[in-house]
Amino acid sequence: MATFFGEVLSVFSRAVEDEEDDEEEEEEEDRDILRALEDKRQVRVRWSSPLSPGGGDRLPRCPHLLLAVGPTASRFVSVYLLSRGHWDTVGQVCLWNERTVGSEEAACVLHRDKDNNVLVCLVDCFVAEDQLFQWTEQVMGCVDTTGLQVTVLSDCPAAEYRTAEPLGAAPVLRSLHTTSHKEAPCCPPVELPNLVTGLPAAVLSFCQLHHISAVLYQSYSDERCPDSSSMEVFRPAVSRLANALGLDLSPNVDLLRKFISQASVQSNLYI
Amino acid sequence: MFVPSQKSPPDLKGFTLIMPVVAVGNVGQLAVDLIISTFNMDRVGHIHTDCLIPMAGSNPYSTGKEDADGVHTAAEVYISREMKLAVLQIRSPVIQKRTKKFRQVLVSWMKASGFSRTIVLSSSQAYQRDDRQLQGSPLRYLVTPSMLKLSEGALKELGWLEMEKVQAFPGLMDGNAEPRLYIPGGGITKGLYTDSCAEDLPLAVLLLFCSEGDNIPDAFTIINHLNSWLHLQDHPCEDPNKWKIPPSWTLMFGSSIPPAIF
């Protein structure tokens, strides 16, 4: 796309895929293949044990849901929250798409603290556009949303944040919350014309429509791989929740060192 | 399905619905932004569907902190009761394999709401015009039979050009080939139009031949064209500032140039 200033921007096609005229003329074999592929792309929630004694399809009431979407956010939660205290793995959200490595499904693991106060879900895999809605409906459908507080942490490249003044080198945090969320967020809001996309958008939209209190904290960073400064930016976002629940937010240094060393080896082409 | 913002859904019977189709240049969506922003319309609900790519953001028409009203989603409905006007804004692409389902969602909602008429704002690729279309106005219209009954007189008076049907394979002499409706770059426009004909809905399509680029002038072209029919505003051509550009249109082509590169 050529802009007013003459530079050429490569933009995602603004949805000008025309409809197929011959939808009804597919061969039966093609239809079977498409159906099988559609079935393979279904999002499924698998629980470690039956959800409730009566065999119902909802988790026992848990007042907080914390979603960490993206490599930096998930590593932050692993290093700062899940590495301390007692957490149970209660299930996983399994999905497959064309970007899943290997033939096995990718899994987003669900953890719950021992006092049943907070359910944590780490999402470090790619969730395709056509799976976002289903992912959200499946997970939120298993949770009792009465009085639920949802916090979503997500990371994004700083280059995608549009602003009149440059953001600077350090990672920044921005927030977006539903109408039902009454507490003041701990950082400025996502300024216009910036948008939120992907799984955070799907979850926030669901919460807005269903009048659930939800807040998204999105970090914008220049770092290609998660490091301590890009993870540390999330700390204010969960400190209130951690204090309220008596959770320790100090980082597990060994785990942090392991994540950072993995990233630095991968990023060096010359060794 | 339609999810109202308040407990009770609004009564939209007899309202005129204006909606965009996600098409080349996003012209329809930009034009709808101008309508919502200019008339300060109220959000009354959302279309909740798995057919659109999810997106979320703050109020794109906000002028200050007091306007912050939670999360704005991919498909929202706004109304102006005084003007008996409803507007559906669609902010993200339709997932390709769900276009038919999305058309069904729209048609069902249009029927259930009881709109008196629906006007779809769309666009088509300028580079695929045939020889006739290269000359004259780049604006075209289409109407369903039931819309024609309502608006035949007005359309004759306006002297608008109806969208031409074209040969499937131009240049190939095939006497049996019927000219067909072809709207390249128009997204679901053709499908929505043919579905509305089949369902006997009063629907009109206004479309503009354009290319991808800075499509703000195209949005003004189509909105002024629509206004010459609906008279939403008086004499906007004399005062182009009468259409209020929303704050979400800032930095449309990216951030300012960082001084550090110099």
Distance CA A142, CA A147 (A): 15
B74/A205 CB distance under 8 A: yes
CA distance A33 to chain B (A): 14
A193/B249 CB distance under 8 A: yes
3-state secondary structure of B22: coil
Residues of A in contact with B99 (CB under 8 A): 19
What pLDDT, in 10s, does the model give residues B194-241?
Answer: 999 999 999 999 999 999 999 999 999 999 999 999 998 875 555 656
Is residue A166 predicted with pLDDT exceeding 90? no
**How does strand B203-210 pair with strand B139-143?**
antiparallel
Residue pair A151/A98 in contact (Cβ under 8 Å)? The answer is no
Query: In sequence order, what are the beta bridge partners of B118?
Result: B17, B203
Residues of A in contact with B49 (CB under 8 A): 133
A16/B259 CB distance under 8 A: no
**Closest-CA residue of chain A to B93:** A15
**In percent, how much of chain B has pLDDT > 70?**
92
At A191, list the tokens.
Answer: 């300024």
What pLDDT, in 10s, does the model give residues A251-268?
Answer: 778 778 777 777 665 555
CB under 8 Å, gap of 24 or more: what pairs does B224-227 form? B225/B139, B226/B18, B226/B31, B226/B119, B226/B121
**Closest-CA residue of chain B to A208:** B71
Residue pair A236/A187 in contact (Cβ under 8 Å)? The answer is yes
A198/B54 CB distance under 8 A: yes
Report the pLDDT averaged over residues B7-16.
92
Distance CA A87, CA A91 (A): 12
Tell me the count of A-B CB pairs closer than 8 A.
145
Is residue A227 predicted with pLDDT exceeding 90? no
**Look-up: residue for tokens 């399905």?**
B1
Least confident span in A63-72, B180-189, B248-257: B248-257
At A98, list the tokens.
Answer: 């064309």
Query: In sequence order, what are the beta bridge partners of B180?
Result: B166
> What is the structure's pLDDT at B71?
94
Residues of A in contact with B214 (CB under 8 A): 3-4
Report the pLDDT averaged over residues A114-138.
92
Order the strands of the B75-80 sheet from edge to edge. B2-4, B42-47, B75-80, B85-90, B16-20, B117-125, B203-210, B139-143
CA distance A180 to chain B (A): 8
B57/A190 CB distance under 8 A: yes
User: What ipTM score was computed for the predicted complex, to two decimals?
Assistant: 0.91
CB count within 10 Å of CB B145 equals 11
